[in-house]
Structure 1
Amino acid sequence: MRRDDWPEEFELAERRVVPWSCPNCQQKTLTVSPGTVHVYEGIESQNAGYHEAWDPEWTDRRFVCMLSCRCGEWIAVAGKQHVEQVFFASELSESNVHYLDISVPRFFQPPLRVINISEAVPTEVREQVERSFSAFWSDLESCANRVRASVEKLLDHLGIKKTAIQNGQRRPLSLHSRIQLSATCGNAFANELMAIKWLGNAGAHSSAITREDILDAYEIIEHVLREMYDQPGKRIARIAKTINKAKKPRSVTHRTRRRT
């Protein structure tokens, strides 16, 4: 993942290429489809236009449009639009003042894929990360929680226990404890998973989480999943582990499962 590929805002104009990759082909060939752009000004913004001290930067609009890709995919987009004052010369004079319409997307359907996830990644882990993509643009707290949930599912897949006997009673283990336990079981990425847990905690308990924090989480989880599931050597190791655990060929194990 490259952070520069995920700007928060863009300039909305027909036929313009947007900065994000297509969720279908992963190519940066998405363009704003002609005739699909609709912009509406909110009522408070309209009323503010009558104020004697009105400034263009008070403008508050909503927009919708469609993005099209060469691969044939279509993406619906909705968001907010505001106006920013910019200066194009070092000497500030009225003639050098310009205003730009800045569009900030809050919704994509289908969601854009912030990181690529291999099909080798367990389905339950992959689903949690993919669900976070929708929230990335509108609800950072929920997004952080989804990425955190992917860590829980990953630990489930690794066989890290969820409960332990404490004071004579079986109690659930916290994610923190499970990550620590995974380190003792040979998980080489416990530190990375712990970092995601802290970011998820920030999303769950406060509004302090930022877009940059979420990009941190995405970079970390992408690295962990790539190292665990995308490396050819790791795939061979998983095959060997399955055979050794069953003490028989995988084909025999598969036939037995089908009969049951």
Structure 2
Amino acid sequence: MAATRDLWGKNFPDDDIPPYPCPECDRGTLRCVPKSLRQMTSSNWNRALQEGFISPPDVVANFNLFLQCGITKCGTIVSVHGDSQLMERNAWDREEDRFFDLLTPHGMDPAPPLATVPESTPEHLKIEFSTAFALFWIDLGACANRLRIIVEKILDHQGVKAGVLAKRIEAYKTAQPGHADTFDALRFVGNIGSHEGEASREAVLDCFELLQDAIAELFGERTTKLTGMKKRIIAAKGRV
């Protein structure tokens, strides 16, 4: 999910909304509900426009729109809200296509998943992931901190003794050195989010991608399933 970096930019044109994954079925993609985009500007912006202090491209409006899963049997609706600003295209074929609205989301509900969470993942961890997905659009620092909390709770689930996170991860290296390095990376980014109140978009996306790989092993039993598949094919000499 997070590996598809072009999906998770800070903003997007109103006529080119990214095909986000559905937060409910995790199979379909979200499409803009026709004519659902609504934009409004505050009185201050309108007054400045009327008095000639600013021009239309300088105005920041509020928007909301709805996205819907493209799979009919699912049809999940996601509400999106944020800011929009009139922008001029670098090139256009027709004069009427010269301008577009650049949409910057400040919230999605329910938020699209930035990582695939195995069905067998404990419910309390699924809730933490959903919270992290939502915070991605609201506050990257808080999102990074939530990923750090997820690491803590995974270690709880793995039976690692409570204490300072760095020491818990060090203790975990004996059993799972690869995952321990992943958790250490998330700890550092989470610390920045906690202490500085912010984190880079790229760092947070890296964390989601790393964490997705770890939970595929820990809760999805990916390696075990792949090993079984190989043995089954070899035993049958390809006649599966």
- Map of 1:83 onto structure 2: 86
Classify the secondary structure of the residue corresponding to 1:77: strand
Q: Quote the RMSD (CA, aligned, Å).
A: 2.6
Equivalent position to 2:5, from 3, 6, 9: 3
Distance across 1 between alignment mates of 2:26 and 2:125: 21
Q: Which protein has the larger Cα radius of gyration, Structure 1 or Structure 2?
A: 1
Distance across 1 between alignment mates of 2:70 and 2:130: 23
Overall identity of the aligned pairs, in %? 27
1:75: how far off? 1.5
| Deviating more after overlay: 43-52 vs 201-210 | 43-52
Q: What TM-score comes out, normalization by structure 2 length?
A: 0.80
- Structure 2 letter corresponding to 1:60: V
- Structure 2 letter corresponding to 1:7: G
Deviation readout 1:99-151 (Å, 9 max, x if unpaired): 32101122222221111100222333332222111111011111111111110
**Does the 8 Å contact 1:12/1:32 carry over to 2?**
no
**Does the 8 Å contact 2:169/2:180 carry over to 1?**
yes
| Deviating more after overlay: 134-143 vs 226-235 | 226-235
Matches within 5 A, 1:127-206: 127-162=127-162, 173-206=163-196
- Map of 1:258 onto structure 2: none
- Structure 2 letter corresponding to 1:175: L
- Structure 2 letter corresponding to 1:125: L
> What runs of 5+ residues in structure 2 fail to find an aligned partner?
228-240
| Deviating more after overlay: 38-47 vs 17-26 | 17-26
- Structure 1 letter corresponding to 2:207: A
Distance across 2 between alignment mates of 1:148 and 1:116: 18
**Does the 8 Å contact 1:19/1:28 carry over to 2?**
no
- Paired residues in the alignment total 219
**Does the 8 Å contact 1:111/1:133 carry over to 2?**
yes
Matches within 5 A, 1:208-227: 208-227=198-217
- Map of 2:76 onto structure 1: 73
Distance across 1 between alignment mates of 2:205 and 2:42: 31
Distance across 2 between alignment mates of 1:40 and 1:34: 18
Does the C-alpha gap of structure 1 residues 87 and 236 become closer, same or farther in structure 2, counting only changes over 3 Å?
A: closer
1:227: how far off? 2.4
Does the C-alpha gap of structure 1 residues 60 and 186 become closer, same or farther in structure 2, counting only changes over 3 Å?
A: closer
- Structure 1 letter corresponding to 2:10: E
Q: What TM-score comes out, normalization by structure 1 length?
A: 0.74
Does the C-alpha gap of structure 1 residues 82 and 236 become closer, same or farther in structure 2, counting only changes over 3 Å?
A: closer
**Does the 8 Å contact 1:48/1:58 carry over to 2?**
no
**Does the 8 Å contact 2:61/2:85 carry over to 1?**
yes
- Map of 2:219 onto structure 1: 229
